[in-house]
Amino acid sequence: MQKTFHRGEILHFPKRTDSPEQNYQYLNDGILVIEQGKIIDLLDADIFFQHHHIAQEQIETHSGLLIPGMIDSHVHYPQMEMIASYGRQLLEWLNDYTFPVETKYADSSYAALQADAFLRQLFAHGTTTASVFATVHPQSVDAFFTAAATYQARMICGKVLMDRHSPDNLRDTADSGYRESKDLLEKWHHHERALYAITPRFAPTSTPEQLALAGQLAQEYPDAFIQTHLSENTDEINWVKSLFPDAKDYLNVYERYGLVRDRALFGHGIHLEPREYQTLASNHSSVIFCPTSNLFIGSGLFPYFTVKEHGIPVAIASDVGGGTSLNLLVNQAEAYKILQLQHQNLNPFESLYLCTQGAAVAMQLEDQIGNLNPGTEADFIELDVNGIPPMLKQRMAQAKTLEEKLFALIMLADERVIRQTYVNGQQVYSRP
Ligand code: GUN
Ligand code: ZN
């Protein structure tokens, strides 16, 4: 069987950890061995050459830093085209900008074009797996998974469930939403690298009947993902409390319907109450921190260390089009600033962990992705740490430690630092 060899500086987090700054693996000169889309070995070049006699021409040498492909655990593919829409906070932003764009995805050929364009943008921004909201239209999910299959990419996606408080042409019903989600789940979940996420948009746009059926579906498919939004904006929270007056808090709405469990990914979670932290932790659900979105839509400052102290898995995601960059390095830079505003520091190892192994842990996918351990899937990227942008190059020349380099990289990076992206062992992007 054909093996491929990639040589370079390599960094990853091999295991689940609360202290990524102490639990990384760094190879100054390492070799990644790939066969049939899997990583089969990762070792020091010196050791490799003691045991293997491989001609230099057979080895792809990378001058940049090899890391696992980044994982965007919360993003909306149809919103790519309305990123950077001015002057609104969450509820008006949804009505004025988001919903009108999402209506276009009733057209499956339009959805197919946009899905492919979105995937190519993800790869160009260094992301190889994403948990993706489509629209209410089942064809928007078919379009997405069909496009993802052409790259053999590990992708999670789901049809948005939304049966109230939204435009007529963007609503399903409790029954149709359940049936369409179930059909899509049967068709795509575990089909090659596709995984399905049951996707109620958020509590205000689903009736109790719809949430109950979403919970029933979740019970029928215990290893399916669940993705939704939680406690992002104070007007949203007050609205949820008025719509569900019997609920103890926002999370309790989802909890009542069996939607707080393993593999449930709650976007935002900025303004949670103590009971909500405990419930998320005891039910093994994850919270997704979306830095550029939280700043851009003016939602608030995510209390990362409080969430972490409760033992809730966290990942950093883009939430495009609320977020303003698909690049998870840029999102890490904004995460750092959000914690500075709370007089706390997020170290660069930890923020990189939250977009790689930590995100995989939050999604219970660390046996497949998020690290470069032998046996996992060969999704990785090369970062051009000494090239463009010029400011980064100059700053790097001054950096003395790996930590300092990584921090400068994160703070100064944009998508130009992504030189190559590999999915399932194959190159899917190379910087022009
Ligand atoms: N809450 C409900 N829908 C959305 C959405 O599309 N984006 C964000 N950021 N929050 C939401
Ligand atoms: Zn979102």
Domains of the chain are 4-68+371-430 (2.30.40.10), 70-363 (3.20.20.140)
Query: Ligand 1 atom 1: the closest Cα is on which residue?
Result: 229
In this prediction, residue 386 carries a pLDDT of 81
In this prediction, residue 55 carries a pLDDT of 87
With b meaning 16 or more CB within 10 Å and e meaning fewer, what string describes 267-295? Answer: bbbbbbeeebbebbbebebbbbbbbbbbb
Q: What is the pLDDT along the chain (432 residues), one digit of tens a residue?
A: 699 999 999 999 999 999 999 999 999 999 999 999 999 999 999 999 999 889 888 999 999 999 999 999 999 999 999 999 999 999 999 999 999 999 999 999 999 999 999 999 999 999 999 999 999 999 999 999 999 999 999 999 999 999 999 999 999 999 999 999 999 999 999 999 999 999 999 999 999 999 999 999 999 999 999 999 999 999 999 999 999 999 999 999 999 999 999 999 999 999 999 999 999 999 999 999 999 999 999 999 999 999 999 999 999 999 999 999 999 999 999 999 999 999 999 999 999 999 999 999 999 999 999 999 999 999 999 999 887 778 888 899 999 999 999 999 999 999 999 999 999 999 999 999
- Cα(99) to centroid of ligand 2, in Å? 13
Give the pLDDT score at 56. Answer: 86
Query: At 229, which helix (H) or strand (E)?
Result: strand 225-230
Instruction: Indicate whether residue 98 lines ligand 1 (CB < 6 A).
Output: yes
Distance of CA 353 to the CA centre of its chain: 12
Structure token digits, residue 317: 């995601």
Structure token pair of residue 18: 């609360």
Q: Which residues, chain by chain, have CB under 5 Å from ion ligand 2?
A: 267, 319
| pLDDT confidence of residue 388 | 73
Ligand 1 touching residue 76 (CB < 6 A): yes
Ligand with smallest separation from the Cα of 74? 2
The answer to whether the beta carbons of residues 88 and 377 sit under 8 Å apart is no
CA angle 120, 129, 361 (to 5 degrees): 165
Candidates 363, 415, 425, 431; CA nearest to 127 is 415
Ligand 1 pocket member 229 (CB < 6 A): yes
Give me ligand 1 centre to Cα 188, in Å: 24
